[in-house]
Amino acid sequence: MKKLVSMLMVFTLLFSFTACGNNNNAGESEKLQDSASQTEQQTTVSEQEPDSSAETSLAESNPVETETKSLVAYFSCTGNTKAVAERIAELTGADLYEIVPAEPYTDEDLNYNNNDCRANREMNDSSARPAIGSDSIDISVYDTVYIGYPIWWGTMPRIINTFLDTYDLSNKTVMPFCTSGSSGISKSVSDMKAEEPDADIRDGLRASGSSDSGINEWLSNNGLM
């Protein structure tokens, strides 16, 4: 009888452990399911709505490039306009580009006392477009383009028309400047406006030497300094 009772007790104990064990498994599998569904939810949320704080910190560490770029393009045969161009580039931090004629002008070409000199022949022909020999540039990266030239017969030399025909200046700020014996710049600016109706062509500067005062005033009047 004692043997039977102790066997019964052992059997009862074994049964209750097994039941407990099963319950624990059920609890754990519920927990796993819960956490799996949470992970799934989190994945779905993060796929649908990227963390806005992460976006903000990315934008802060990679600010959008807003710096404007300027170019000083110039043509000069005897160095006067070149000196002014270099000074403007120094003052503004602009890139410098020399418009070099494919066929250089000799002294005889520039001898305007001779009616048949090359410069005079070009200026007498409004369709003349002397070729540019310097490497071409990507003008699209510039917001402001300074264009410098000597005055020839009251206006810009025809090679400047070649430059205007070659490059698209639409929606750019254009700052014409010149050197001359005595003539002003206004005729060349109105000629340029007729050629570039979509550019924002500002009042020009006739520079005497590379004197900073005139250049500084012109730049600050145009909000460029």
Ligand X SMILES: Cc1cc2nc3c(=O)[nH]c(=O)nc-3n(C[C@H](O)[C@H](O)[C@H](O)COP(=O)(O)O)c2cc1C
The footprint of ligand X (CB under 6 A) covers 76-82, 110, 112, 119, 150-154, 179-183
Which of 172, 177 has the CB closer to ligand X?
Answer: 177
The nearest distance, CB 118 to ligand X, in angstroms, is: 9
Bridge partners of 177, per DSSP, are 148, 205
| CB-CB contact of 54 with 37 (8 Å) | no
What is the rounded CA–CA span in Å between residue 96 and residue 90? Answer: 9
Which of 82, 202 has the CB closer to ligand X?
Answer: 82
Tracing tokens 């070649």 back to the chain, one arrives at 162
The nearest distance, CB 142 to ligand X, in angstroms, is: 22
The nearest distance, CB 90 to ligand X, in angstroms, is: 17
Which of 110, 139 has the CB closer to ligand X?
Answer: 110
The nearest distance, CB 75 to ligand X, in angstroms, is: 7
What is the rounded CA–CA span in Å between residue 216 and residue 224? Answer: 9
Token pair of 122, please?
């070009």
Which of 74, 167 has the CB closer to ligand X?
Answer: 74
Question: From residue 24, how far is each of 12, 30, 142 by CA, in Å?
Answer: 19, 10, 72
